[in-house]
Structure 1
């Protein structure tokens, strides 16, 4: 089931513009609904898998700093 959810989320956002991605992320955060977390997780997973080691390092550093 998890794989189907992941694929459905990817299918739903494939081809989105930067503005549409931003709207999706902002809406998910502002709504505060737990049901939005899997979608954000899938977006982060796709980003992480395609990020360079340097980009991953920047993300890890930012997370470390904001979650101290």
Structure 2
């Protein structure tokens, strides 16, 4: 991913509260547009970088379950 794109995405959400971030995530998922995927990826990257090991384990378990249902 282009570093400029990552910076632009981070800049667009910097200062957003939890409700605004949730709205961004929900909108990206509901729109189903491929162009929204990099934004979700950057948000996930930020989360992952700051998550504790237990949180990462929980997310990985949830993802494993979710992909097994597809």
- TM-score per shorter chain, which class? over 0.9
Structure 2 stretches of 5 or more lacking a match? none
CA displacement at 1:65 relative to structure 2: 1.0
TM-score, reference length from structure 1: 0.96
- Residue of structure 1 equivalent to 2:3: 3
Structure 1 stretches of 5 or more lacking a match? none
- Residue of structure 2 equivalent to 1:41: 41
- Residue of structure 2 equivalent to 1:53: 53
Q: Deviations over 1:5-35 (max 9, x none)?
A: 0001001100101110010000000000000
- Residue of structure 1 equivalent to 2:31: 31
Which ranges of 4 or more aligned residues in structure 1 deviate by more than 6 Å? none
Q: Deviations over 1:29-56 (max 9, x none)?
A: 0000000000000000000000001100
Count residues with an aligned counterpart. Answer: 68
TM-score, reference length from structure 2: 0.94
Query: What is the root-mean-square deviation of aligned Cα atoms in Å?
Result: 0.9
